[in-house]
A = this chain, B = another copy of it.
Amino acid sequence: MLMVSLDNAQATPLVEQIVDAVRSQIDDRILRAGMKMPPIRKLAESQQVSRFTVVEAYDRLVALGYLRSRRGSGFYVAPRREGGEGRQLASTDRAVDVAWMMRQALDGGADQIKASAGWLPPDWLDEDGLRRHLRSLSRRPDARLTAYGTAQGYLPLRQQLQVKLAEFGIGAAPHQIVLTEGATRALDILARHLVKPGDTVLVDDPGYFNFFGNLRLQGAILVGVPRKVDGPDVEQLEALLAHHKPRVFFTHSVLHNPTGANLSPGVAFRILQLAEKHDFLVIEDDTYADFHPHATTRLANLDQLNRVIFVGSFSKTLSGSLRVGFLAARPDLAAELTDVKTLTSVASSEFNEQLVYQMLTDGHYRKYLDRLQGRLAQATDECLRMIERIGLEVYLEPKGGVFVWARPPGFEDVAALASAAAAQNIMLAPGKVFRPQMQPSPWLRFNVAFATVPAVERFLGETLGGCPT
């Protein structure tokens, strides 16, 4: 039986009062492992506090390893481990659920159908171009092949990125750009520097799941901001900000992963207004930028790297094997983040940065992207037609990129559907993996370059009782 006595007059916030009461009753074994916690609504009513307060308290207790949430069922006291150990490991456990899924995607054999992968098939990429640049790099007398690179990364590539960002309307001098081992490492370095254990971080719901795992590893408390077709739901964001003090909002503006949606200018402006008012930083992940055929809105375009830190990558268009990504930030932040990079990996691979630089500057990257965008548009059409034949509902028709977000009618959660697909070696990513607390979701992410094969349509048609052609 949970006993809480809250005191509005106390300096300690109500959320912390609940957290403390629950923790001490679990520590004292008044609440025992497996016991069900009062439902959020009920506790909120009995204590005369808002549901937000209870949600945040429960979230923190989950992050601390005191509670576990069970899908559709509620919150339970977590199994006890000796010492303080269990509590800290628990958050890693949850982070690792995500890592496990990622590992499945990376390590899946050649016969696995990666119908929901986050990247393109290798043979869609410019392998010949890469081979040609390898040979040319091997002959350049000025190639630096053996020495450590500089802390911030290969200067000519940073200068090239300055030009690229200027095309997006973002002003960033080379000293504001830090090269990293892919976008995920850029996000990792940001989390290391900006997020302390126990900090609240706002994330897209749904959003990039591997980074949710990274944030959990860092001890962050994740609060999801629902996505709409024009970007994060700013009404909900404002309501959340009445109850949370986030340090950072991590979001994805262009060809959002997983929904494929773009940010509208009006929503971008409101987010930046709220960031100013509530004093948080925004990390804008732009991993899929080069798949978008047209100019579109970015937060960093409005804000000019004042409150926004911009993250990009060449893993999707050039090579996931090279591990070249970058971040762009305010000069003072860029310097600090360079130091964090140095402490965590000395330097990134200048060797690979030289290769990417050569590929960007020899003039054919733009033409290559045009072809790729054309091929993706065609695959997207095919995927949308397949989805229509099977009878799934599409979230939106994406303006580019690799993702289609769709749901079968009548499902509350598609986790079991994804498991059945996995048994046939078809990798389907169920919506719950993109949600910050792995809440149930009826949505599926399709990768248009992989999903339009007969096996996927057959599986979905048969399983959902549709009429596959």
Contact = CB atoms under 8 A, between A and B. Distances in A.
A107 interface: yes
B134 A343 contact: no
Contacts of A185: 344-345
B131 A145 contact: yes
A152 to B, nearest CB: 8
B322 A96 contact: no
Given A130-B145, A138-B138, A323 B339 contact: no
A443 B88 CA distance: 40
Interface stretch (A162-170, A349-357, A394-402): A349-357
A139 B131 contact: yes
A340 interface: yes
Interface in A25-55: none
A122 B138 contact: no
B181 A343 contact: no
A188 interface: yes
A126 B196 CA distance: 43
A240 interface: no
A347 B319 contact: no
24 contacts: A92-B193, A95-B343, A99-B340, A100-B339, A102-B343, A106-B342, A106-B346, A119-B147, A122-B145, A125-B146, A134-B138, A146-B318, A146-B321, A147-B319, A181-B348, A188-B343, A188-B344, A210-B342, A210-B346, A217-B344, A321-B349, A321-B350, A323-B348, A352-B352
Interface of A: 88, 92, 95-96, 98-100, 102-103, 106-107, 119, 122, 125-127, 130-132, 134-135, 137-139, 143-152, 181-182, 184-185, 188, 192-193, 196-197, 210, 213-214, 217, 219, 315, 318-323, 336, 338-340, 342-352
Given A103-B338, A134-B137, A320-B347, 9 more contacts: A96-B336, A96-B339, A102-B342, A106-B151, A125-B146, A134-B138, A146-B321, A188-B344, A322-B351
